[in-house]
Amino acid sequence: MAAEKPVTPTEEQLEILEYNFCKVNKHPDPTTLCLIAAETGLSEEQTLKWFKQRLAEWRKSEGLPSESGSVRD
């Protein structure tokens, strides 16, 4: 299977992704992820990867562990 080549989102795509990350949900469910992917024109896999990387950046900036885990763990 060929590896998907990395895609750098355009400025417009980044605006949509950032808006959804900050204002809608940092952990989109599969339906929301599908809608965001459709809106940006990226694949669901690319969109999910962006959210995972962005969440790790956000957690680091908040002084939280980069690995996902809840406060209840």
List, for residues 6-64, the tens digit of each pLDDT value: 678 899 999 999 999 999 889 999 999 999 999 999 999 999 999 999 999 998 888 88
For residues 19 and 10, give the distance between their C-alpha atoms in angstroms, rounded to a whole number. 14
Within-domain flag for 53? yes
Query: Quick check: 70 pLDDT over 60?
Result: no
What CATH number should be reported for the domain holding residue 49?
1.10.10.60
Within-domain flag for 69? no
Could you tell me the pLDDT band of residue 4, with boundaries at 50, 70 and 90?
low
Within-domain flag for 5? no
Cβ-proximal residues to 52 (8 Å cutoff; 6+ apart), any chain? none
Single-letter amino acid, residue 11: E
- Which residues constitute the domain of residue 17? 11-60
Position 12 scores a pLDDT of 96
Within-domain flag for 17? yes
Quote the tokens at residue 20.
């959804």
The number of folded domains in the chain is 1
Within-domain flag for 67? no
Within-domain flag for 51? yes
Position 3 scores a pLDDT of 57
